[in-house]
Amino acid sequence: MNRRIMVAGNWKMYKTIDQAVALAKAVAAGPARQGLDVLLCPNFVCLEAVVRAVAGSHVQVGGQNLHWQDEGAFTAEISGPMLRSVGASHVIIGHSERRQFFGETEKTVRLRLAAALRHGLKPIVCVGETQAERESGQTDDVLASQLAGGLAGLSAAEMVKVTLAYEPVWAIGTGLTASDEQAQQVHAFIRAWLAARFDNQVANSCGILYGGSVKPANAAGLLRQKDIDGALVGGASLDADSFLGIIAAV
Ligand code: PGA
């Protein structure tokens, strides 16, 4: 099974327009590789400028969230049609910071996922356990319930359009990374869950990214794992050299 590899940068609430354009241009000047998708997810304010900055290059652009309605009186929210109109191809859904600080639940993940699919945006759905959940042996249960809720009622044809990202909450922005073995173990668990919920073909075609303190120094080991299909990178995506260093490790 030849799954594509993706290296995605989640810029979170960083970068003004000038800074974002400079970083995007530097990433777009990096090498394009067969079978590799490079994705930048800037804040909403910078989306249009980043789309322009990478136009004609191999780099794709995504949003960090979307609302499930197409429009309405939802102050400060952004919808699927808006992301499409700015030229975004992807969208991150259910990042742990959304779950932790903004009340994201499995139900809202599922609603956002439906909106992304409805508007032809490629969703990246994030799951992951906290340190306390890992230490009390609940990692598999937590992931299974995030997957069951977030992907509830999805058809196989829809599921193959979804990329998953396993991001252990304890590894995000902490400098702690899951070891290659820990990450591979969870990715294999997620793939087995997909095989049981859908079938082997769906399980084998879905991309599953790892995220949590990925850097040039640890990327090669993680990306060598058989069930890890790329990286969702936060901190190290904010600097062109370190992000290109991760891409070079693929
Ligand atoms: P990090 O963030 O690379 O800074 O740990 C990853 C993420 O939150 O997607």
**pLDDT tier for residue 245 given thresholds of 50, 70 and 90:** very high
Residues at CB less than 6 angstroms from ligand 1: 10, 167, 172-173, 211-214, 232-236
- For 43-76, the pLDDT digits (tens) are 999 999 999 999 999 999 999 999 999 999 999 9
Nearest CA to ligand 1 atom 9: 234
pLDDT of residue 227: 98
- Ligand 1 centroid to Cα of residue 205, in Å, is 24
| 239 has a pLDDT exceeding 80 | yes
pLDDT of residue 173: 87
pTM of model > 0.95: yes
Q: Which atom of ligand 1 sits closest to the CA of residue 237?
A: 3
Cβ atoms 112, 126 nearer than 8 A? no
Q: Which atom of ligand 1 sits closest to the CA of residue 97?
A: 8
- For 172-211, the pLDDT digits (tens) are 988 888 999 999 999 999 999 999 999 999 999 999 999 9
- For 140-183, the pLDDT digits (tens) are 999 999 999 999 999 999 999 999 999 999 999 888 889 999 99
